[in-house]
Amino acid sequence: MDIQDILSVMPHRYPFLLIDRVLEMDGTRIRAYKNVTFNEPFFQGHFPGHPVFPGVLLVEAMAQAGGYMLFSGIQDRGDKLIYFSGIDACRFRRPVIPGDQVVFEVEVLSARRGFAKLRGRAHVGDALACEAELLSAMVNRS
């Protein structure tokens, strides 16, 4: 799925849409990626002279990949939002820098009545950059 498909499902927009393409997806797993460029606005301050992709945005990008997967199966998704309700067992294993392509692999651990627990991993090449368990709650927009 390309960026147009992602935009048709996700409520996020520039500058906060953090996935560029979905590589594969089934009902419980998704693989998506983000190309990290030096033009990202946060690199001006994180960190000058030593640009590092903010870890919190790696976690957000994993959540967005999972959100795409969860939203794809919802008919009335325009009336819904998915909120973070928790982050567990989060670890950062290596820095992500401009020029990297980060591949996010997210799987559903459990889901019921609007709540989901996902496991996400972010890889750059063969190296694990970040991993976390993500908890979410689907709510009405109103």
CA gyration radius for the chain? 15
Exactly one of 12, 46, 50, 123 is catalytic; which is it? 46
pLDDT in tens for each of the 142 residues of the chain? 999 999 999 999 999 999 999 999 998 999 999 999 999 999 999 999 999 999 999 999 999 999 999 999 888 888 999 999 999 999 999 999 999 999 999 999 999 999 999 999 999 999 999 999 999 999 999 8
pTM of the complete model: 0.95
Instruction: Kindly list the structural domains of the chain, giving each domain's residue range(s) and its CATH number in brackets, ordered by start.
Output: 3-140 (3.10.129.10)
pLDDT at 101: 98
Q: Is 12 one of the annotated active-site residues of the chain?
A: no
